[in-house]
């Protein structure tokens, strides 16, 4: 176990509280293992009826995964430890997605990357005025993994594709509008919500509804028509051309944002969401995303993106390939191709 996750039971409720505030509760492999072990134990305990997932302190909820470990792996061990991290993190995502007891995620704060991967599988997902949701992976040469293909492809219209490519941030009201959050509750009411759920775990839906308020007007709603029109294609070049043909300030802003992203991983993300939308099993989605992650991890863009955005903070990544046209279908096929049978991702037993 690790002190980076606080794990308790309160009566008939399990409680997992992320506790790595200096890193905005970004997930380590030990944290994933601790969470998974707790959930496995509670699954077999009849007295545990529900699980609360939150963060202990700071600006949580969870800013992602252990990017430094992944970059070190890409540069120093051929991706071995990075693949181990992805494999077990994805097992946790799948375990939560298929968990038979209700989990309530309190997304009170930054909810990005790996944080999305543990929040969106939960039956109840509470946003607040502090929520900041994003999948910003294309900016560091990664892709919206941890089940992102499944979740984003099932949002209304082309919002998922927009979020996957641009890394745009949504606030709590926008998360509620998009269906990413099931409830919107003021942060000052969360302690009451948790206390009442702990006391009455069979009344989660009613408790959350009673404490919910009408969220502010979601800003993203005004842009949905533009998003659906410009991001309609699964071909990245078509999206860029559509934005280029629009002389509005909004289109210029989004086009400028896309120009900073990895062309390779933007194309990967579009194909990922298109494939995910056709799948009927979350396990099949995670198997596909593990294949992608295994390849993208050791491609040039990931280490370079992390260097430019997170390590050196120069924001001048040199992508390879440098243009969307340089990302060939053969390259995409190699990234999505099955792994050898003994290397494929498998759900937790």
Cβ(89)–Cβ(51) under 8 Å?
A: no
Alpha helices by DSSP H, 98-231: 114-119, 148-153, 159-166, 172-178, 190-199, 204-211, 224-230
CA–CA dist 315, 20 (Å, integer): 26
Phi, psi of 134 (to 5 degrees): -165, 155
Nearest to 67 by CA among 296, 314, 310: 310
CA–CA dist 124, 22 (Å, integer): 27
Cβ(64)–Cβ(26) under 8 Å?
A: yes
CA–CA dist 214, 191 (Å, integer): 19
CA–CA dist 290, 310 (Å, integer): 23
Nearest to 152 by CA among 162, 142, 166: 162
Nearest to 168 by CA among 62, 274, 253: 253
The residues annotated as belonging to the active site are 65, 114, 137, 145
């Amino acid at each position: 176990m690790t002190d980076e996750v606080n794990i308790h039971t309160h009566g008939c409720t399990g409680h997992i509280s992320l506790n790595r505030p200096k890193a905005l509760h970004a997930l380590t492999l030990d944290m994933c293992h601790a969470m998974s072990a707790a959930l496995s134990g509670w699954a077999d305990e009849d007295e545990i009826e529900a699980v609360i997932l939150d963060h202990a302190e700071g600006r949580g909820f969870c800013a992602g995964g252990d990017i430094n470990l992944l970059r070190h792996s890409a540069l120093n061990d051929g991706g071995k430890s990075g693949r181990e991290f992805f494999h077990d993190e994805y097992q946790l995502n799948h375990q939560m997605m298929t968990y038979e007891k209700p989990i309530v995620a309190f997304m009170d704060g930054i909810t990005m990357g790996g944080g999305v991967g543990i929040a969106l599988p939960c039956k109840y997902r509470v946003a607040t005025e502090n929520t900041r949701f994003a999948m910003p992976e294309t900016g560091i040469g990664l892709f919206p993994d941890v089940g992102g293909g499944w979740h984003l492809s099932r949002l209304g219209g082309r919002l998922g594709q927009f979020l996957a490519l641009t890394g745009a941030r949504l606030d709590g009201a926008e998360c509620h509008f998009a269906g990413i959050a099931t409830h919107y509750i003021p942060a000052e009411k969360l302690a009451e919500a948790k206390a009442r759920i702990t006391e009455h775990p069979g009344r989660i839906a009613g408790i959350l509804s009673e404490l919910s308020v009408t969220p502010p007007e979601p800003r993203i709603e005004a842009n949905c028509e533009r998003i659906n029109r410009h991001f309609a294609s699964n071909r990245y070049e078509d999206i860029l051309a559509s934005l280029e043909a629009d002389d509005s300030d909004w289109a210029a802003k989004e086009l400028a944002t896309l120009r900073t992203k990895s062309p390779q991983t933007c194309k990967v993300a579009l194909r990922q969401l298109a494939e995910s939308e056709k799948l009927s099993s979350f396990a099949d989605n995670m198997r596909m995303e593990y294949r992608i992650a295994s390849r993208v991890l050791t491609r040039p863009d990931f280490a370079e993106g992390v260097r430019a955005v997170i390590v050196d903070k120069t924001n001048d990544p040199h992508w390879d390939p440098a243009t969307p046209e340089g990302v060939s279908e053969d390259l995409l096929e190699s990234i999505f191709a099955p792994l050898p049978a003994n290397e494929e991702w498998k759900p937790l037993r």
